[in-house]
Chains A and B, each alone.
Chain A
Amino acid sequence: MADDEIILSELDDEELVAQMFDDLYDGLKEEIEEATHILLDRGWTPYDVLTKALVGGMKVVGDDFRDGILFVPEVLLAANAMKAGMTILKPLLAETGAPRVGKMVIGTVKGDIHDIGKNLVSMMMEGAGFEVVDLGINNAVEKYLDALETEKPDILGMSALLTTTMPYMKVVIDTLKEKGIREDYIVLVGGAPLNEEFGRAIGADAYCRDAAVAVETAKAQVARRHNVGAGAR
Protein backbone atom coordinates (compact mmCIF):
# COMPACT_ATOMS: atom_id res chain seq x y z
CA MET A 1 0.00 0.00 0.00
CA ALA A 2 1.14 3.56 -0.74
CA ASP A 3 0.70 4.60 2.91
CA ASP A 4 3.27 2.01 3.97
CA GLU A 5 5.89 3.78 1.88
CA ILE A 6 5.55 7.11 3.66
CA ILE A 7 8.60 7.83 5.80
CA LEU A 8 7.34 10.24 8.42
CA SER A 9 10.74 11.69 9.21
CA GLU A 10 11.19 12.72 5.56
CA LEU A 11 8.06 14.89 5.53
CA ASP A 12 8.33 18.59 6.24
CA ASP A 13 6.39 19.97 9.19
CA GLU A 14 3.30 20.88 7.24
CA GLU A 15 3.18 17.52 5.48
CA LEU A 16 3.81 15.69 8.72
CA VAL A 17 0.94 17.43 10.52
CA ALA A 18 -1.33 16.65 7.57
CA GLN A 19 -0.19 13.03 7.74
CA MET A 20 -0.91 12.99 11.49
CA PHE A 21 -4.44 14.15 10.77
CA ASP A 22 -4.79 11.18 8.39
CA ASP A 23 -3.19 8.77 10.83
CA LEU A 24 -5.42 9.92 13.69
CA TYR A 25 -8.42 9.51 11.42
CA ASP A 26 -7.28 5.96 10.68
CA GLY A 27 -6.50 5.23 14.34
CA LEU A 28 -2.82 4.47 13.70
CA LYS A 29 -1.37 4.63 17.20
CA GLU A 30 2.26 3.81 16.43
CA GLU A 31 2.45 6.34 13.61
CA ILE A 32 1.09 9.03 15.91
CA GLU A 33 3.69 8.17 18.55
CA GLU A 34 6.46 8.33 15.98
CA ALA A 35 5.26 11.62 14.51
CA THR A 36 4.90 13.16 17.97
CA HIS A 37 8.53 12.33 18.72
CA ILE A 38 9.63 13.72 15.37
CA LEU A 39 7.93 17.08 15.94
CA LEU A 40 9.39 17.31 19.45
CA ASP A 41 12.85 16.51 18.08
CA ARG A 42 12.42 19.31 15.57
CA GLY A 43 11.93 21.75 18.41
CA TRP A 44 8.15 22.01 18.48
CA THR A 45 6.80 22.84 21.92
CA PRO A 46 4.68 20.10 23.47
CA TYR A 47 1.79 22.54 23.51
CA ASP A 48 2.03 23.13 19.76
CA VAL A 49 2.22 19.39 19.03
CA LEU A 50 -0.85 18.87 21.16
CA THR A 51 -2.98 21.67 19.79
CA LYS A 52 -1.86 21.89 16.16
CA ALA A 53 -1.41 18.19 15.41
CA LEU A 54 -3.37 16.03 17.86
CA VAL A 55 -6.31 18.26 18.76
CA GLY A 56 -6.50 19.54 15.20
CA GLY A 57 -6.66 15.98 13.92
CA MET A 58 -9.26 14.93 16.46
CA LYS A 59 -11.41 17.88 15.45
CA VAL A 60 -11.74 16.34 11.99
CA VAL A 61 -12.68 13.02 13.61
CA GLY A 62 -15.20 14.75 15.86
CA ASP A 63 -16.77 16.65 12.98
CA ASP A 64 -17.16 13.49 10.91
CA PHE A 65 -18.64 11.64 13.89
CA ARG A 66 -21.15 14.45 14.38
CA ASP A 67 -22.03 14.34 10.68
CA GLY A 68 -22.54 10.57 10.64
CA ILE A 69 -19.49 9.85 8.48
CA LEU A 70 -17.52 8.12 11.24
CA PHE A 71 -18.96 5.81 13.90
CA VAL A 72 -18.06 4.89 17.44
CA PRO A 73 -15.48 2.18 16.63
CA GLU A 74 -13.49 4.53 14.40
CA VAL A 75 -13.68 7.32 16.97
CA LEU A 76 -12.39 4.95 19.65
CA LEU A 77 -9.45 3.94 17.49
CA ALA A 78 -8.67 7.59 16.78
CA ALA A 79 -8.94 8.38 20.48
CA ASN A 80 -6.55 5.55 21.29
CA ALA A 81 -4.05 6.97 18.85
CA MET A 82 -4.42 10.46 20.30
CA LYS A 83 -4.07 9.08 23.81
CA ALA A 84 -0.76 7.51 22.81
CA GLY A 85 0.48 10.89 21.62
CA MET A 86 -0.77 12.60 24.75
CA THR A 87 1.00 10.07 26.95
CA ILE A 88 4.26 11.31 25.44
CA LEU A 89 3.29 14.97 25.77
CA LYS A 90 1.71 15.05 29.23
CA PRO A 91 4.87 15.06 31.35
CA LEU A 92 6.45 17.57 28.98
CA LEU A 93 3.43 19.84 29.15
CA ALA A 94 3.69 19.83 32.93
CA GLU A 95 7.39 20.79 32.72
CA THR A 96 6.92 23.53 30.17
CA GLY A 97 3.95 25.14 31.90
CA ALA A 98 1.41 25.02 29.09
CA PRO A 99 -1.51 27.43 29.50
CA ARG A 100 -4.30 26.08 31.70
CA VAL A 101 -7.84 26.99 30.82
CA GLY A 102 -9.56 25.59 33.88
CA LYS A 103 -10.15 22.50 35.95
CA MET A 104 -12.86 19.87 35.69
CA VAL A 105 -14.02 17.04 37.89
CA ILE A 106 -15.85 14.42 35.83
CA GLY A 107 -17.48 11.07 36.52
CA THR A 108 -20.19 8.65 35.44
CA VAL A 109 -23.14 8.68 37.83
CA LYS A 110 -24.13 6.06 40.37
CA GLY A 111 -25.45 2.81 38.93
CA ASP A 112 -23.80 3.41 35.59
CA ILE A 113 -20.59 1.76 34.43
CA HIS A 114 -20.34 3.29 30.97
CA ASP A 115 -17.28 5.43 30.44
CA ILE A 116 -16.49 5.61 26.75
CA GLY A 117 -18.08 9.03 26.27
CA LYS A 118 -16.73 10.31 29.56
CA ASN A 119 -13.21 9.20 28.66
CA LEU A 120 -13.43 10.92 25.31
CA VAL A 121 -14.56 14.13 26.99
CA SER A 122 -11.74 13.86 29.54
CA MET A 123 -9.16 13.44 26.83
CA MET A 124 -10.47 16.26 24.66
CA MET A 125 -10.72 18.56 27.67
CA GLU A 126 -7.10 17.81 28.53
CA GLY A 127 -6.18 18.46 24.93
CA ALA A 128 -7.91 21.85 25.19
CA GLY A 129 -5.85 22.79 28.22
CA PHE A 130 -8.13 21.79 31.09
CA GLU A 131 -6.87 19.90 34.07
CA VAL A 132 -9.18 16.92 34.46
CA VAL A 133 -9.83 14.88 37.58
CA ASP A 134 -11.61 11.73 36.47
CA LEU A 135 -13.64 9.99 39.17
CA GLY A 136 -14.36 6.98 36.97
CA ILE A 137 -17.69 5.15 36.99
CA ASN A 138 -20.57 4.55 39.39
CA ASN A 139 -20.18 7.71 41.48
CA ALA A 140 -22.48 8.45 44.40
CA VAL A 141 -23.19 12.07 45.30
CA GLU A 142 -20.74 11.91 48.22
CA LYS A 143 -17.91 11.10 45.85
CA TYR A 144 -18.68 14.13 43.72
CA LEU A 145 -18.93 16.36 46.80
CA ASP A 146 -15.61 15.13 48.19
CA ALA A 147 -13.90 15.76 44.88
CA LEU A 148 -15.38 19.25 44.56
CA GLU A 149 -14.14 20.13 48.01
CA THR A 150 -10.68 18.67 47.48
CA GLU A 151 -10.06 19.70 43.87
CA LYS A 152 -11.93 23.01 43.76
CA PRO A 153 -12.64 22.74 40.01
CA ASP A 154 -14.36 25.25 37.78
CA ILE A 155 -16.51 22.55 36.21
CA LEU A 156 -18.39 19.46 37.35
CA GLY A 157 -19.08 17.03 34.51
CA MET A 158 -21.52 14.14 34.82
CA SER A 159 -22.14 11.36 32.34
CA ALA A 160 -24.80 8.62 32.03
CA LEU A 161 -25.68 6.17 29.29
CA LEU A 162 -28.86 4.77 30.77
CA THR A 163 -32.36 6.17 31.04
CA THR A 164 -32.48 4.62 34.49
CA THR A 165 -29.33 6.33 35.75
CA MET A 166 -29.54 9.77 34.19
CA PRO A 167 -32.02 11.08 36.82
CA TYR A 168 -29.22 10.70 39.38
CA MET A 169 -27.66 13.83 37.92
CA LYS A 170 -30.54 15.77 39.45
CA VAL A 171 -29.81 14.19 42.82
CA VAL A 172 -26.27 15.56 42.63
CA ILE A 173 -27.36 19.03 41.48
CA ASP A 174 -30.10 19.21 44.12
CA THR A 175 -27.55 18.29 46.78
CA LEU A 176 -25.28 21.08 45.58
CA LYS A 177 -28.23 23.46 45.89
CA GLU A 178 -29.08 22.24 49.38
CA LYS A 179 -25.52 22.87 50.46
CA GLY A 180 -25.56 26.32 48.88
CA ILE A 181 -22.65 25.56 46.55
CA ARG A 182 -24.43 25.05 43.23
CA GLU A 183 -23.34 28.41 41.87
CA ASP A 184 -19.71 27.72 42.71
CA TYR A 185 -19.45 25.33 39.75
CA ILE A 186 -20.32 25.09 36.10
CA VAL A 187 -22.28 21.85 35.75
CA LEU A 188 -22.10 20.12 32.37
CA VAL A 189 -23.97 16.89 31.61
CA GLY A 190 -23.84 14.43 28.74
CA GLY A 191 -24.63 10.92 27.58
CA ALA A 192 -26.57 9.22 24.81
CA PRO A 193 -30.12 9.37 26.23
CA LEU A 194 -29.84 12.97 27.44
CA ASN A 195 -31.06 16.04 25.62
CA GLU A 196 -31.09 19.79 26.13
CA GLU A 197 -34.51 19.77 27.73
CA PHE A 198 -33.36 17.24 30.31
CA GLY A 199 -30.27 19.31 31.04
CA ARG A 200 -32.40 22.38 31.66
CA ALA A 201 -34.96 20.46 33.71
CA ILE A 202 -32.39 19.15 36.17
CA GLY A 203 -30.68 22.51 36.54
CA ALA A 204 -27.41 21.86 34.69
CA ASP A 205 -25.63 24.77 33.03
CA ALA A 206 -25.49 22.91 29.75
CA TYR A 207 -26.07 19.59 28.02
CA CYS A 208 -23.18 18.60 25.77
CA ARG A 209 -24.02 16.41 22.79
CA ASP A 210 -20.48 15.18 22.25
CA ALA A 211 -16.89 15.69 23.34
CA ALA A 212 -16.27 18.56 20.93
CA VAL A 213 -19.35 20.39 22.16
CA ALA A 214 -18.26 19.74 25.75
CA VAL A 215 -14.91 21.43 25.10
CA GLU A 216 -16.45 24.45 23.38
CA THR A 217 -19.13 24.79 26.06
CA ALA A 218 -16.58 24.49 28.84
CA LYS A 219 -14.34 27.15 27.31
CA ALA A 220 -17.26 29.52 26.78
CA GLN A 221 -18.68 29.01 30.27
CA VAL A 222 -15.30 29.44 31.97
CA ALA A 223 -14.60 32.59 29.95
CA ARG A 224 -18.00 34.01 30.81
CA ARG A 225 -17.53 33.25 34.47
CA HIS A 226 -14.12 34.96 34.45
CA ASN A 227 -15.62 37.98 32.70
CA VAL A 228 -18.42 38.18 35.25
CA GLY A 229 -15.84 37.88 38.02
CA ALA A 230 -13.72 40.64 36.47
CA GLY A 231 -16.79 42.86 36.08
CA ALA A 232 -17.64 42.46 39.74
CA ARG A 233 -14.23 43.65 40.87
Chain B
Amino acid sequence: MSVPGRAEAPSDEALRDAGLTAEGRGRVLLIACGALAREILALKVANGWEHLDLQCLPAILHNTPQRIVPAVEATVAEARGRYDSVFVVYGDCGTGGLLQAACERLGVEMVPGPHCYSFYEGNEAFAAREEATAFYLTDFLVRQFDAFVWKPLGLDRHPELRDLYFGNYETLVYQAQTDDPALTEKARACAERLGLAFERRFTGYGDLGGVLGRL
Protein backbone atom coordinates (compact mmCIF):
# COMPACT_ATOMS: atom_id res chain seq x y z
CA MET B 1 0.00 0.00 0.00
CA SER B 2 1.43 3.39 -0.89
CA VAL B 3 1.33 6.42 1.35
CA PRO B 4 0.28 9.56 -0.52
CA GLY B 5 2.54 12.56 -0.39
CA ARG B 6 5.81 10.81 0.31
CA ALA B 7 8.32 9.63 -2.24
CA GLU B 8 8.99 6.47 -0.26
CA ALA B 9 6.04 4.73 1.28
CA PRO B 10 6.99 3.13 4.58
CA SER B 11 5.84 -0.42 5.00
CA ASP B 12 3.80 -1.46 8.02
CA GLU B 13 6.82 -3.41 9.18
CA ALA B 14 9.00 -0.30 8.96
CA LEU B 15 6.42 1.74 10.83
CA ARG B 16 6.19 -1.00 13.42
CA ASP B 17 9.90 -1.44 14.10
CA ALA B 18 11.58 1.80 13.07
CA GLY B 19 8.91 4.46 12.70
CA LEU B 20 9.24 7.26 10.19
CA THR B 21 11.85 9.99 9.88
CA ALA B 22 10.70 13.58 9.52
CA GLU B 23 11.24 15.29 6.19
CA GLY B 24 12.65 18.40 7.84
CA ARG B 25 10.09 20.72 6.22
CA GLY B 26 7.25 22.62 7.87
CA ARG B 27 6.97 24.72 11.00
CA VAL B 28 5.13 22.18 13.19
CA LEU B 29 6.58 18.77 13.96
CA LEU B 30 4.15 16.00 14.76
CA ILE B 31 5.64 13.24 16.88
CA ALA B 32 3.32 10.30 16.42
CA CYS B 33 2.93 6.60 16.96
CA GLY B 34 3.88 4.69 13.82
CA ALA B 35 0.43 3.09 13.89
CA LEU B 36 -1.01 6.48 12.93
CA ALA B 37 1.42 7.34 10.14
CA ARG B 38 -0.74 6.44 7.16
CA GLU B 39 -3.77 8.18 8.58
CA ILE B 40 -1.88 11.37 9.43
CA LEU B 41 -0.21 11.45 6.03
CA ALA B 42 -3.57 10.93 4.34
CA LEU B 43 -5.07 13.82 6.31
CA LYS B 44 -2.05 15.97 5.52
CA VAL B 45 -2.40 15.40 1.79
CA ALA B 46 -6.19 15.73 1.77
CA ASN B 47 -6.05 19.04 3.63
CA GLY B 48 -2.87 20.46 2.11
CA TRP B 49 -1.21 20.79 5.51
CA GLU B 50 2.24 21.63 4.19
CA HIS B 51 3.19 23.25 7.50
CA LEU B 52 3.07 19.87 9.27
CA ASP B 53 6.05 17.55 9.31
CA LEU B 54 5.69 14.04 10.64
CA GLN B 55 8.06 11.93 12.66
CA CYS B 56 6.86 8.56 13.91
CA LEU B 57 8.19 6.42 16.71
CA PRO B 58 8.10 2.66 16.24
CA ALA B 59 4.51 1.52 16.55
CA ILE B 60 5.58 -1.53 18.53
CA LEU B 61 6.08 0.75 21.55
CA HIS B 62 2.31 0.25 21.87
CA ASN B 63 3.18 -3.07 23.55
CA THR B 64 5.62 -1.54 26.04
CA PRO B 65 4.09 1.76 27.18
CA GLN B 66 6.90 2.35 29.67
CA ARG B 67 9.17 3.00 26.66
CA ILE B 68 6.92 5.64 25.10
CA VAL B 69 7.70 8.52 27.44
CA PRO B 70 11.51 8.36 27.14
CA ALA B 71 11.22 7.96 23.36
CA VAL B 72 8.96 11.01 23.07
CA GLU B 73 11.19 13.03 25.39
CA ALA B 74 14.27 12.21 23.31
CA THR B 75 12.52 13.09 20.06
CA VAL B 76 11.24 16.40 21.42
CA ALA B 77 14.77 17.22 22.59
CA GLU B 78 16.18 16.47 19.12
CA ALA B 79 13.59 18.67 17.46
CA ARG B 80 14.25 21.72 19.67
CA GLY B 81 15.02 24.82 17.59
CA ARG B 82 14.17 23.16 14.30
CA TYR B 83 10.42 23.82 14.38
CA ASP B 84 8.16 26.56 15.70
CA SER B 85 6.29 23.98 17.74
CA VAL B 86 5.99 20.28 18.44
CA PHE B 87 2.76 18.35 18.85
CA VAL B 88 2.58 14.81 20.21
CA VAL B 89 0.11 12.51 18.47
CA TYR B 90 -0.31 9.90 21.17
CA GLY B 91 -3.07 9.34 23.62
CA ASP B 92 -2.14 8.36 27.14
CA CYS B 93 -1.53 4.90 25.65
CA GLY B 94 -1.10 3.08 28.92
CA THR B 95 1.46 5.47 30.38
CA GLY B 96 -0.77 6.18 33.35
CA GLY B 97 -0.61 9.96 32.91
CA LEU B 98 3.19 10.02 32.60
CA LEU B 99 3.11 11.08 28.93
CA GLN B 100 0.83 14.00 29.71
CA ALA B 101 3.12 15.00 32.58
CA ALA B 102 6.18 14.76 30.31
CA CYS B 103 4.50 16.89 27.63
CA GLU B 104 3.63 19.54 30.22
CA ARG B 105 7.20 19.49 31.48
CA LEU B 106 8.51 19.84 27.91
CA GLY B 107 6.01 22.56 27.02
CA VAL B 108 4.41 20.64 24.15
CA GLU B 109 0.81 19.67 23.55
CA MET B 110 -0.62 16.25 22.85
CA VAL B 111 -3.85 14.72 21.56
CA PRO B 112 -6.45 14.52 24.32
CA GLY B 113 -7.79 11.07 25.12
CA PRO B 114 -6.69 7.76 26.59
CA HIS B 115 -5.69 6.10 23.30
CA CYS B 116 -6.27 6.11 19.55
CA TYR B 117 -9.34 3.88 19.89
CA SER B 118 -10.91 6.74 21.79
CA PHE B 119 -9.96 9.62 19.54
CA TYR B 120 -10.76 7.66 16.38
CA GLU B 121 -14.27 7.22 17.65
CA GLY B 122 -14.39 10.67 19.24
CA ASN B 123 -13.42 10.93 22.91
CA GLU B 124 -16.88 11.81 24.14
CA ALA B 125 -18.65 9.11 22.14
CA PHE B 126 -16.08 6.53 23.16
CA ALA B 127 -16.36 7.34 26.86
CA ALA B 128 -20.15 7.30 26.67
CA ARG B 129 -20.16 3.72 25.39
CA GLU B 130 -18.51 2.38 28.58
CA GLU B 131 -17.52 -0.77 26.72
CA ALA B 132 -15.58 -2.79 29.25
CA THR B 133 -15.71 -6.04 27.28
CA ALA B 134 -14.64 -4.77 23.85
CA PHE B 135 -11.21 -5.45 22.40
CA TYR B 136 -10.31 -2.88 19.74
CA LEU B 137 -8.36 -3.06 16.52
CA THR B 138 -7.70 -0.27 14.04
CA ASP B 139 -6.78 -0.66 10.36
CA PHE B 140 -3.11 -0.78 11.29
CA LEU B 141 -3.61 -3.27 14.10
CA VAL B 142 -5.69 -5.56 11.91
CA ARG B 143 -2.89 -5.61 9.35
CA GLN B 144 -0.35 -6.18 12.12
CA PHE B 145 -2.45 -8.46 14.32
CA ASP B 146 0.13 -11.22 14.57
CA ALA B 147 2.96 -8.88 15.44
CA PHE B 148 1.02 -6.85 18.00
CA VAL B 149 -1.34 -9.39 19.55
CA TRP B 150 -0.89 -13.03 18.64
CA LYS B 151 2.87 -13.44 18.95
CA PRO B 152 3.63 -11.08 21.88
CA LEU B 153 0.99 -12.88 23.94
CA GLY B 154 2.63 -16.18 23.07
CA LEU B 155 -0.51 -17.51 21.38
CA ASP B 156 1.52 -18.80 18.44
CA ARG B 157 3.37 -21.09 20.87
CA HIS B 158 0.68 -21.57 23.52
CA PRO B 159 -2.81 -21.21 22.04
CA GLU B 160 -4.18 -22.69 25.27
CA LEU B 161 -3.52 -19.32 26.93
CA ARG B 162 -6.09 -17.59 24.75
CA ASP B 163 -8.97 -17.68 27.17
CA LEU B 164 -6.78 -16.54 30.05
CA TYR B 165 -6.16 -13.37 28.10
CA PHE B 166 -9.48 -12.92 26.35
CA GLY B 167 -11.99 -14.92 28.41
CA ASN B 168 -13.51 -11.79 29.92
CA TYR B 169 -13.87 -10.00 26.59
CA GLU B 170 -16.98 -10.43 24.49
CA THR B 171 -16.50 -8.53 21.24
CA LEU B 172 -13.71 -7.56 18.93
CA VAL B 173 -14.57 -4.09 17.65
CA TYR B 174 -12.86 -3.24 14.40
CA GLN B 175 -12.65 0.53 14.20
CA ALA B 176 -12.29 1.01 10.46
CA GLN B 177 -10.49 4.10 9.24
CA THR B 178 -11.08 3.08 5.63
CA ASP B 179 -13.56 1.02 3.65
CA ASP B 180 -11.56 -2.06 2.79
CA PRO B 181 -13.52 -5.32 2.47
CA ALA B 182 -10.37 -7.43 2.62
CA LEU B 183 -9.32 -5.77 5.86
CA THR B 184 -12.79 -6.28 7.29
CA GLU B 185 -12.54 -9.98 6.52
CA LYS B 186 -9.13 -10.10 8.18
CA ALA B 187 -10.56 -8.37 11.25
CA ARG B 188 -13.39 -10.88 11.33
CA ALA B 189 -10.86 -13.69 11.21
CA CYS B 190 -8.96 -12.08 14.10
CA ALA B 191 -12.18 -12.12 16.14
CA GLU B 192 -12.63 -15.80 15.38
CA ARG B 193 -9.08 -16.58 16.41
CA LEU B 194 -9.66 -14.83 19.73
CA GLY B 195 -13.04 -16.50 20.21
CA LEU B 196 -14.88 -13.16 20.24
CA ALA B 197 -17.96 -11.79 18.51
CA PHE B 198 -17.20 -9.34 15.73
CA GLU B 199 -18.34 -5.79 15.13
CA ARG B 200 -17.14 -3.42 12.46
CA ARG B 201 -17.48 0.24 13.31
CA PHE B 202 -16.51 2.81 10.70
CA THR B 203 -14.80 5.70 12.48
CA GLY B 204 -12.77 7.36 9.75
CA TYR B 205 -10.17 9.54 11.45
CA GLY B 206 -12.46 10.66 14.29
CA ASP B 207 -11.14 13.55 16.36
CA LEU B 208 -7.74 13.34 14.70
CA GLY B 209 -8.56 15.58 11.74
CA GLY B 210 -10.04 18.29 13.93
CA VAL B 211 -7.15 18.26 16.37
CA LEU B 212 -4.48 18.42 13.65
CA GLY B 213 -6.47 20.99 11.70
CA ARG B 214 -6.08 23.47 14.54
CA LEU B 215 -2.28 23.38 14.46
A residues with a Cβ closer than 8 A to B are 71-74, 76-77, 111-116, 137-138, 162-164, 166, 192-195, 198
Contacts and interface: CB of A to CB of B under 8 A. Distances in A.
Interface stretch (B24-32, B153-161, B180-188, B197-205): B153-161
B73 to A, nearest CB: 16
B65 A195 contact: no
Interface string B107-143: 0000000110000000000010010110000000000
Contacts of B133: 113
B96 A195 contact: yes
Given A111-B132, A116-B164, A163 B95 contact: yes
A143 B157 CA distance: 38
Q: Interface of chain A, helix or strand or loop or mixed?
A: loop
Contacts of B115: 163
Contacts, number: 57
Contacts of A112: 132
Place the interface of chain B in its size category.
20 to 34
A162 B114 contact: yes
B96 A73 contact: no
Q: Interface of chain B, helix or strand or loop or mixed?
A: loop
Contacts of A111: 130, 132
Interface of B: 65, 92-98, 114-115, 127, 130, 132-133, 152-155, 157-158, 161, 164-165, 168-169
Contacts of B93: 163
A164 B127 CA distance: 9
Contacts of A195: 96, 98
